[in-house]
Amino acid sequence: MSYNHGKEERKWRLWKEAEEKKLRELGVDEDTIEQLRIHDWAIFNSDRRYYQRMQDVGTYLEEIAESEELPEIKTMEDFLDSIENQQLYQLLIKVDKLTLRAVILQLQGYSIAEIAMTLGMKEYTVYKRLSRLKAKIKNLLR
């Protein structure tokens, strides 16, 4: 959701008016109330700049993600050919074919349940195979 400066400023002003009303009821002098207003306004503007930058970064990352064309992986050979790290490649060619098929299906966006059904395995088995492979890869990359 994008940051709406006007809406946030209206909310801030309503909050600030209510706060100042309470402070006046409690007998706080006008100089202190004004100093609080200046301080809170500076914080509001700082937050506004932060949220605006975050929105800009998010938009930039979305554009980059949309422009990146990843090769579609349909077979184990395509998957293995896409591996550029030689150590990782050597590890993956030793992995059994069912685990590699599970990885490919997961990369294509299938859930663990869908992968299990497709490969004729239990969900727990798919999860275990993927987690063991993940552990091997982590050890390799250390």
Q: Which residues contact 29 (CB under 8 A, 6 or more apart)?
A: none
Instruction: Please tell me the pTM assigned to this model.
Output: 0.48
Q: Which residues contact 50 (CB under 8 A, 6 or more apart)?
A: none
Class of domain 76-141 as given by CATH? mainly alpha
DSSP string, 25-66: HTT--HHHHHHHHHHHHHHHHHHHHHHHHHHHHHHHHHHHHH
pLDDT tens per residue across span 13-29: 999 999 999 999 999 99
Provide the sign of the torsion angle of the four alpha carbons 98, 100, 103, 105, taken in this order: negative
Burial of 102 (0-12, 13-18, 19+ CB in 10 A): buried
Domain ranges in the chain? 5-67, 76-141
State both tokens at 36. Answer: 């609080």
Q: Render each residue's pLDDT in the chain as its tens digit; 142 residues.
A: 466 777 888 888 999 999 999 999 999 999 999 999 999 998 888 887 777 766 655 555 566 555 555 556 667 777 777 777 788 888 888 888 899 889 888 888 889 899 999 999 999 999 999 899 888 888 877 7
DSSP state, 75?
Answer: S
Q: Which pLDDT score is estimated for 20?
A: 92
Q: Which pLDDT score is estimated for 66?
A: 58
